[in-house]
Amino acid sequence: MKNAGNTILVTGGGSGIGQALAHRWHDAGNHVIITGRRQQVLNETIAGRERMAAYVLDVTAANEVEAFVQQVVAEHPQLNILVNNAGIFSPEKVTSRRDIASAERMIETNILGPIRMTNAFIDHLSAQADAAIINVSSGLAFVPYPASPTYSATKAAIHSFTAAIRPLLKGKVEVIEIVPPQVQTELSPGQSADPNSMPLDAFADEVMTLLHAANTPAEVCVERVRYFREAEAKGQFDEALQMLVRYS
């Protein structure tokens, strides 16, 4: 991807990974638009930064996404990069009958959200120079976390969707996947202080280094996630799964 001079829209840009990447992209000389459901965190994220803009958008609101995209493209016609980062995580206990509302919300947000956003932006992006779609999956796309099978399945699905559209868009829209390990954010309560999670700044810095390489890799994998990304290919899938079972 081009390092500077882009107009980048980051969903879920008001906190965590989305916010850290949005600030780094802005610092690198890009226009950055962030979206999310909470106006206040969006306002705090863009405070004091020219070339940043914020819009409230719930990616699960199917009937609002199309109108939003028309508005944002009219107001930012140079927009050339979509970052599907918004996501949610809920723990699940699947071994007895339960209310699956939270599982349905994860599917709506983590899978239908990016599919919907990609669809709404694809004609615009295809007509832009240096266009890219960047999808945020997870190491759990490659070795599922038994404490949240649905979350893991949504991330495996976003990996699959990303891999499937890459060859179709080749030459028109660069398709990149960011594969985070467990990172210190509030994706789940208390995780931002968890010493077993990767510090957010270190993660965002390593991601930017990989994105700014001469040839941006199709999958942006920091060192810390490589064990999970490569587990199956290296014959370590069962070992990795058992490790996650112990944390479940």
Ligand X SMILES: NC(=O)c1ccc[n+]([C@@H]2O[C@H](COP(=O)([O-])OP(=O)(O)OC[C@H]3O[C@@H](n4cnc5c(N)ncnc54)[C@H](OP(=O)(O)O)[C@@H]3O)[C@@H](O)[C@H]2O)c1
**Residues identified as active-site:** 151
Judged by CB, which is closer to ligand X: 60, or 162?
A: 60
In the bound complex, what is the minimum distance in angstroms from residue 203's beta carbon to ligand X?
8
| Phi, psi at 220, each rounded to 5° | -95, 105
| Site residues, ligand X (CB under 6 A) | 11-12, 14-18, 36-38, 41, 57-60, 85-89, 109, 136, 138, 180, 182-183, 185-187, 197
Judged by CB, which is closer to ligand X: 24, or 129?
A: 24
How far is residue 133's CA from residue 119's CA, in Å, rounded to a whole number? Answer: 11
Judged by CB, which is closer to ligand X: 79, or 83?
A: 83
* CB contact set of 63 (below 8 Å; sequence gap of 6+): none
In the bound complex, what is the minimum distance in angstroms from residue 127's beta carbon to ligand X?
25
In the bound complex, what is the minimum distance in angstroms from residue 207's beta carbon to ligand X?
11
In the bound complex, what is the minimum distance in angstroms from residue 139's beta carbon to ligand X?
6
Judged by CB, which is closer to ligand X: 86, or 221?
A: 86
